[in-house]
Amino acid sequence: MLRSLYLSATHMLVQRRKVDVITNNIANMDTAGYKADKLVSRSFKDMLLVQTGKPAALSSVGPLNTGVHIDELITSFKEGSLEPTGRTLDLAIAGDGFFTVSTLAGERYTRNGAFMLNSEGFLVTADGNRVLGTAGFIQLDSPEFSIDELGNVINAEGETAGSLKLVHFEDKAGLSKLGDGLFINRSNQAAQAADGAKVFQGFLETSNTEAANEVFELMAASRTYETSQRVIRMLDDSLAKAVNEIGRV
Amino acid sequence: MMQGMFTAKSAVIAQQRRLDTIANNLANINTTGFKASRADFKDTLYTTMHRPVEPQNASLILGSGVLVSATVRSFLAGTPIQTGIGLDFCLTQDGFFTVMNGQSEKLYTRDGSFAVSNEDGGRFLVTADGFYVLDKAGSRITLPEGDISNLKLDTAGSLSIGSEEPFATLGIAAFKNNGGLMAAGRNCFIETEASGSAELLEEPNVQQGFLESSNVDLSEEITKLIRSQRAFSFAATALTTADEMHAMANNMRSS
């Protein structure tokens, strides 16, 4: 009886975490280049119940589940739709690939191409991190530049001002979010040149959060939470009866 | 305690900021030379969640919501609208009229609806707010004697009255990076480090008798408004859900 109390509690904790993750997806439903997360839970290892006082070969009753815990977070790298903005500094990637951004801590990757020019004319993210080209940073004199599908940057004077460093990863499970739209590569695999990626100027990639789906998940998680809460209340009532009423004369 | 509540709150606030930006664009749909802004978002800090069994997983992270990362202004040109008024000017290319406010600060504007100010020192060309319009040398433009209705402007920005010699040339400045300009209100911008310093244009292409309309696109803004409103209510739903779950946890004891 007491064990089932704990079991229901682990379930509630998992549902709470799920709601936290879903809420973050909903919060970022309009964040350019955002990739939605999904929390996966799994059960704790089963325990074997044994009867005491019997020989070892006959003592086994069967497995007992001890509840559920959060297991892993899966980020969906499904592409968001491309939204036209008409701004020359807005870039979007169609296909598999990331922009490479240089931060103080090293190279980071992003799908959010809402870039700006800083005071020195470098192409930077909204947080001021420089965008990397294949040969150093991209420096432009004015926002009047063009960029082809392969990421070659041509400045206002018609000269080549570098080429964007577009990378892709075979196994995206090694990519982890850092906030500010950035991803870090935590696996050993090296970033490869993204050959299949196409750059579109004057577009932004919208978030891949599917609002209807997230709201459904939210409802499901909160109702499941409620179910477990009811179970706990029921167990509590039963325990109260066991303690206070059984054996009352 | 419950991260979801704070996450949803951040979303409600961010969408509110975007609605404010959209409302400001819509309010200025008829403001001469107005440039529309948009709010960009970014996801915020991620924290690692504890996995109750080994091994720990560094990718098991939980986001904490959304922030407005920047408001980006579009410097696309508005449509020139014919007014037929001799003191209305429109820049058909990139560039800004240089004006000076009461504190002798240089400001830059796309709004070319000018007026004449009669002062002790003579007649000056001013903006609708009374800021002095500056010439190429950076000094105020004094209008000579003569009928203002005969004021003429050539495309290079030289002003003359009737058939007389030009008396001044409008100071039209351009910036390397318009996105870095800071809005100062009253249709004016201030130069910043990010915009680069103002450089005078030799061939500015100014049209007399026209005004540049606002570059706000009504259908786009309304679409954004609807989207933002929906996102706002989704976030509010998430907030309510988190609140209900809190209530459930609080009502766990039956008696």
- Whether the per-residue pLDDT at A118 is higher than 70: the answer is yes
Beta-carbon neighbour count of residue A57 at 10 Å? 6
Q: Do A23 and B177 touch (CB under 8 A)?
A: no
Give pLDDT, residue A1.
63
| Cα–Cα dist B84/B148, whole Å | 14
List CB contacts of A239: < 8 A, sequence separation 6 or more. Answer: A1, A2
| Cα–Cα dist B191/A110, whole Å | 30
Calculate what percentage of chain A has a pLDDT beyond 70. Answer: 99
Residues of B in contact with A9 (CB under 8 A): none
Overall average pLDDT of the A144-169 stretch: 91
Chain B: give the shortest CA distance to residue A202, in Å: 11
Chain B residue closest in CA terms to A112 = B42
User: Out of A27, A86, A127, whose CB is closest to B69?
Assistant: A127
| Cα–Cα dist B205/A85, whole Å | 26
Contact predicate A118/A128, CB 8 Å: yes
Beta-carbon neighbour count of residue A36 at 10 Å? 23
| Cα–Cα dist A174/A188, whole Å | 8
Contact predicate B77/B48, CB 8 Å: no
Contact predicate B67/B10, CB 8 Å: yes
Residue pLDDT tens, chain B, 255 long:
589 999 999 999 999 999 999 999 999 999 999 999 999 999 999 999 888 888 888 788 999 999 999 999 999 899 999 999 989 999 988 899 999 998 999 999 999 999 999 987 789 999 999 999 999 999 999 988 888 888 888 878 899 888 888 899 999 999 888 888 999 989 999 999 888 889 998 888 899 999 999 999 999 999 999 999 999 999 999 999 999 999 999 988 865
What are phi and psi for residue A9, nearest 5 degrees? -65, -40
Beta-carbon neighbour count of residue B48 at 10 Å? 14
What are phi and psi for residue B253, nearest 5 degrees? -70, 130
Q: Do A34 and B43 touch (CB under 8 A)?
A: yes
Beta-carbon neighbour count of residue A35 at 10 Å? 24
Select from A23, A66, A124, A222 the residue whose CB has the most chain B CBs within 10 Å, as the one to mutate to test that interface.
Answer: A23
Chain A residue closest in CA terms to B242 = A19
